[in-house]
Amino acid sequence: MYLSKEKKEEIFEKYGNGKNNTGSAEGQIALFTFRINHLTEHLKNNRKDYNTERSLVKLVGKRRALLDYLTKKDILRYRAIVKELGLRK
């Protein structure tokens, strides 16, 4: 499995406010980004995997919604997470 419990805890430890704070917007955005990158690599090899493509589009939408929420809530946190993850609008 590409996303183990340890990897998930590591992501939340780095981007969230601790490994148990799984509800933080930054942690969720980082987790979605990790999953999006994994699915993108999968789709490069399996072009006709439409279920994965649909999942990828849904994940991108969820991440975009969280980023929009963070923009309205606290622009400085938004800028920090975008810079740290290397995302672009």
3-state secondary structure 34-79: HHHHHHHHHHHHCCCCHHHHHHHHHHHHHHHHHHHHHHHHCHHHHH
Question: How far apart are alpha carbons 43 and 57 in whole angstroms?
Answer: 12
- Specify the CATH superfamily of domain 5-12+23-85: S15/NS1, RNA-binding (1.10.287.10)
Handedness of CA 38, 39, 44, 46 (dihedral sign): positive
Tell me, what's the pLDDT at 20? Answer: 86
Residue 77 vs residues 25, 34, 63: alpha-carbon distances, Å: 9, 19, 15
Tell me, what's the pLDDT at 38? Answer: 95
Run means of pLDDT, 10 residues per run, the chain, 89 residues: 88 89 92 96 96 97 96 95 90
Tell me, what's the pLDDT at 2? Answer: 81
Domain ranges, ordered by start, for the chain: 5-12+23-85
